[in-house]
Structure 1
């Protein structure tokens, strides 16, 4: 009889501890982020574990941040394409979105006003759902002309300033045009390039995460 009581006691104590724990403590869930972008986000030419969202998730977890980052990157997507699929790419319950679209708009010479409007609409629709956005910028290639470059490059800093967004100016900072950090196509980062991107962007992402509303 005594042995049975001894075996039952730890279970009884655990039950009491769960009952006395703060509401929701036993139901803690990871922070849910969505990386909404194009092939740079999707991880073109790379295994899933080497794509930007997966590498960023691991880096944040190493910093003690319990997070899950969904890869909502679609190769070839424009800002308008991201807007069209926004509702199913960013499900209810998402705590924040890392928005990185516009590279394909630039490569295709889409009018900067069209890109700007699509990005603004994405931010507006997410704000209406209570989902904060971190904006990641892109810069225009020099061969597109000075006028296009000026209008395109202004999109991201203008939206970030007007909407009060956490902002990282250039997704490919220190990676663009470096043969050692890109795939043979010269446009998409290789695994080492993704690691460099994450290392540079990490402080900004941490600032974004710290700015998110508390669930409690």
Structure 2
């Protein structure tokens, strides 16, 4: 066994130097597919992706403590650079407090709908105040992430309570996929909302990940 091989096996300075070249990205599982696509398309092979449960999309109170734990674990593993793959995502500023305390950055914006659309463009859309949004992930997982968590499969009468003030469903698509568009149309029909399709691509997510270089 030569010296370099011994150092790598024993977790000595040589392996730690290699680990420091990587950036641990701690992200919502709901955007894992998009992060991988951006990473591969842009040669961002320095990204070491760890995803937290996508279902936390429906339980934002779990995000800040979950991210805090994951950042500390990354640091314990030797990652000197960590990036948080979440917007505020309903944490009410709690995620920002965690990021500030731990000295890490997150994706800018209030939620994934905003950064996929582009935060500036999203903020400028005054007519979206009564819109319910889907992304590619939510179009694929509409039943598991909307119908079932809200109990609509068991209590369909709740549909009007939850969605009575919405007027349209806006599908913000990251890839142009006719099958997903059909799923989104069916979701709009199920909710009794007007359907609107907008292709966004990856929006501000690409730029955010490029800053980790």
Under TM normalisation by the shorter chain, which class is it?
0.3 to 0.5
Larger Rg: 1
TM-score under structure 1 length normalisation: 0.43
